[in-house]
Amino acid sequence: MLLKWMNFHIKKAGYKKTVTNFSTDVKDGEAYAYLLSALAPEHSSTTLIETTDPKERAKKVLETAEKLDCTRYVTSKDIVEGSANLNLAFVAEIFQHRNGLSSNNVAPVVEDTPGDVRTG
Protein backbone atom coordinates (compact mmCIF):
# COMPACT_ATOMS: atom_id res chain seq x y z
CA MET A 1 0.00 0.00 0.00
CA LEU A 2 2.81 2.43 0.87
CA LEU A 3 4.61 1.72 -2.40
CA LYS A 4 1.44 2.39 -4.36
CA TRP A 5 0.81 5.61 -2.43
CA MET A 6 4.40 6.75 -2.88
CA ASN A 7 4.43 5.99 -6.62
CA PHE A 8 1.19 7.89 -7.12
CA HIS A 9 2.65 11.06 -5.60
CA ILE A 10 6.11 10.88 -7.15
CA LYS A 11 4.67 10.30 -10.62
CA LYS A 12 2.42 13.32 -10.12
CA ALA A 13 5.53 15.32 -9.21
CA GLY A 14 7.33 14.24 -12.40
CA TYR A 15 9.49 11.34 -11.22
CA LYS A 16 10.06 8.96 -14.14
CA LYS A 17 10.93 5.74 -12.28
CA THR A 18 8.72 3.34 -10.34
CA VAL A 19 9.69 2.48 -6.78
CA THR A 20 9.29 -1.27 -6.21
CA ASN A 21 11.19 -1.62 -2.91
CA PHE A 22 12.44 0.38 0.04
CA SER A 23 16.11 -0.40 -0.51
CA THR A 24 17.80 -0.03 -3.90
CA ASP A 25 15.01 2.09 -5.41
CA VAL A 26 15.24 4.82 -2.76
CA LYS A 27 18.91 4.79 -1.84
CA ASP A 28 19.83 7.76 -4.04
CA GLY A 29 17.17 9.84 -2.23
CA GLU A 30 15.68 11.09 -5.48
CA ALA A 31 12.28 9.42 -4.98
CA TYR A 32 12.09 10.98 -1.50
CA ALA A 33 12.92 14.39 -2.95
CA TYR A 34 10.04 14.11 -5.39
CA LEU A 35 7.70 12.74 -2.72
CA LEU A 36 8.36 15.60 -0.32
CA SER A 37 8.16 18.15 -3.13
CA ALA A 38 4.71 16.79 -4.02
CA LEU A 39 3.39 16.50 -0.47
CA ALA A 40 5.02 19.52 1.17
CA PRO A 41 5.88 22.12 -1.46
CA GLU A 42 5.84 24.78 1.25
CA HIS A 43 8.87 23.08 2.85
CA SER A 44 10.68 21.98 -0.31
CA SER A 45 12.86 23.80 -2.78
CA THR A 46 14.13 22.98 -6.25
CA THR A 47 17.56 22.23 -4.75
CA LEU A 48 16.04 19.18 -3.06
CA ILE A 49 15.46 17.57 -6.46
CA GLU A 50 18.43 19.16 -8.22
CA THR A 51 21.03 17.94 -5.70
CA THR A 52 23.05 15.22 -7.43
CA ASP A 53 25.10 13.85 -4.52
CA PRO A 54 23.04 11.06 -2.86
CA LYS A 55 24.44 11.76 0.63
CA GLU A 56 23.71 15.46 0.38
CA ARG A 57 20.24 14.80 -1.05
CA ALA A 58 19.50 12.35 1.79
CA LYS A 59 20.47 15.02 4.33
CA LYS A 60 18.19 17.55 2.66
CA VAL A 61 15.35 15.01 2.52
CA LEU A 62 15.65 14.43 6.27
CA GLU A 63 15.78 18.17 6.98
CA THR A 64 12.58 18.62 4.95
CA ALA A 65 10.89 15.69 6.69
CA GLU A 66 11.73 17.22 10.08
CA LYS A 67 9.74 20.31 9.05
CA LEU A 68 6.74 17.96 8.81
CA ASP A 69 7.47 16.74 12.36
CA CYS A 70 8.45 13.30 11.09
CA THR A 71 10.36 11.26 13.64
CA ARG A 72 13.85 10.32 12.52
CA TYR A 73 13.82 6.55 12.19
CA VAL A 74 16.42 6.76 9.46
CA THR A 75 19.72 8.58 8.94
CA SER A 76 21.14 9.82 5.67
CA LYS A 77 23.54 6.87 5.84
CA ASP A 78 20.59 4.44 6.16
CA ILE A 79 18.99 5.96 3.06
CA VAL A 80 22.09 5.73 0.85
CA GLU A 81 22.88 2.22 2.11
CA GLY A 82 19.34 1.13 1.22
CA SER A 83 18.23 -0.09 4.65
CA ALA A 84 14.83 -1.53 3.69
CA ASN A 85 13.21 -1.67 7.14
CA LEU A 86 14.30 1.82 8.15
CA ASN A 87 13.26 3.27 4.79
CA LEU A 88 9.88 1.57 5.14
CA ALA A 89 9.47 3.16 8.58
CA PHE A 90 10.44 6.54 7.12
CA VAL A 91 7.82 6.33 4.36
CA ALA A 92 5.21 5.21 6.90
CA GLU A 93 6.07 8.24 9.02
CA ILE A 94 5.69 10.59 6.03
CA PHE A 95 2.39 8.91 5.18
CA GLN A 96 1.12 9.38 8.71
CA HIS A 97 2.05 13.09 8.79
CA ARG A 98 1.15 14.08 5.26
CA ASN A 99 -0.87 11.48 3.43
CA GLY A 100 -1.94 13.78 0.62
CA LEU A 101 -5.45 12.39 0.49
CA SER A 102 -7.25 15.50 1.68
CA SER A 103 -8.06 18.31 -0.74
CA ASN A 104 -5.63 20.75 0.85
CA ASN A 105 -2.81 18.18 1.19
CA VAL A 106 -2.93 18.27 4.98
CA ALA A 107 -3.30 14.88 6.58
CA PRO A 108 -6.06 14.31 9.09
CA VAL A 109 -4.96 13.37 12.58
CA VAL A 110 -4.39 9.63 12.85
CA GLU A 111 -4.42 8.40 16.41
CA ASP A 112 -4.65 4.64 15.84
CA THR A 113 -3.43 3.75 12.34
CA PRO A 114 -4.81 0.16 12.16
CA GLY A 115 -8.12 1.15 13.75
CA ASP A 116 -8.52 4.32 11.70
CA VAL A 117 -7.71 2.50 8.47
CA ARG A 118 -10.15 -0.27 9.32
CA THR A 119 -13.00 2.16 10.01
CA GLY A 120 -12.13 4.64 7.26
Query: Domain residues of the chain, as ranges?
Result: 1-97
- What was the pLDDT predicted at 72? 79
- Could you tell me where the DSSP H helices lie in the chain? 2-12, 30-39, 46-50, 54-67, 76-81, 84-97, 113-119
Instruction: Using the Cα atoms of residue 41, residue 34, residue 101 and residue 75 in order, give the sign of their dihedral.
Output: negative
Q: Which long-range contacts (CB under 8 A, 24 or more apart) does 106-114 make?
A: none
pLDDT of residue 46: 85
- Answer whether 14's CB lies under 8 Å from 34's CB: yes
What are the average pLDDT values for consecutive 10-residue runs of the chain, which has 120 residues?
96 96 97 95 89 96 92 90 95 85 47 57
Other C-beta atoms closer than 10 Å to the C-beta of 48 total 20
Fold entry, domain 1-97: Actin-binding Protein, T-fimbrin; domain 1 (1.10.418)
Listed residue (100, 113, 104) closest to 36, CA to CA: 100
What are the b/e assignments for 65-79, b being 16+ CB within 10 Å?
beebebeebbebebb
Report the pLDDT value the prediction gives residue 52, as an integer from 0 to 100: 94
